[in-house]
A and B are shown apart, each in its own frame.
Chain A
């Protein structure tokens, strides 16, 4: 299975943008890049996903490198409620969702 590498933890100031990196150098052409987050005492929550092009939704933006070997989840204006563990996951067809250790994001007031 293609794997991802994320920093264990990151800190960001409230009301500033946050860029969460993910490396996936062994990504294949059929791998989708998914991001989930897990707020304290909650189940994981879908954030965004993409294949080749950058994606935007109401929660975040996903920037995918041209060679697809890395991607960045962008929270445009972090709030305290964005403090969570963020998981970057590669999925291709017929694969279940498998979680790594993710990045623990701390928001500083």
Chain B
């Protein structure tokens, strides 16, 4: 298995532009998570899906952020319009059962977003 695949690996965009981050989870994993990592706040959970349905988006910072999972093998995190404070590394993770304490998460390599 290729693991969780994220694209692009790096993204530089200008303030006000729309940014779309992509994630392909591990086949068969029913849970998908989006995290953000900054020096100030560490790793934060933004949103997670179960069987392609968003379950908890309480970590999404504001309405400029949206996430979708149109099918079991693809998810996007969109920021529109982007702002410099959105600069961070965004990670996607998947799990067989994300709410069972005995199961682990597999993370992708992340997308480093820089908004100038």
Q: Could you say which interface size class chain A belongs to?
A: 20 to 34
Contact of A100 among B33, B42, B105, B106 (CB under 8 A): B42
Cβ–Cβ < 8 Å partners of B93 in chain A: 43-44, 97
* Cross-chain contact A34 with B107 (CB below 8 angstroms): no
* Cross-chain contact B45 with A92 (CB below 8 angstroms): no
> Within residues 84 to 109 of chain A, which ones have a CB less than 8 A from any CB in chain B?
91-101
CB distance from A94 to the nearest CB of B (A): 5
* Cross-chain contact A96 with B43 (CB below 8 angstroms): no
Instruction: Give the segment of B12-20, B69-77, B79-87, B94-102 that binds chain A.
Output: B94-102
A31 to B108, CA, bound (A): 26
* Cross-chain contact A30 with B91 (CB below 8 angstroms): no
Cβ–Cβ < 8 Å partners of A49 in chain B: 102, 104
Interface centre among B4, B48, B101, B104 (most CB of A within 10 A): B101
Cβ–Cβ < 8 Å partners of B48 in chain A: 96
Contact of A43 among B45, B98, B104, B108 (CB under 8 A): B108
A99 and B42 in contact (CB under 8 A), knowing A43-B91, A43-B93, A93-B99?
yes
Using CB atoms and an 8 Å cutoff, list the residues of chain A in contact with chain B: 30-32, 34, 41-46, 49, 91-101
A-B CB contact pairs (8 Å), 12 listed: A44-B43, A44-B91, A46-B104, A46-B106, A49-B102, A92-B101, A93-B101, A95-B99, A96-B33, A96-B56, A100-B42, A101-B42
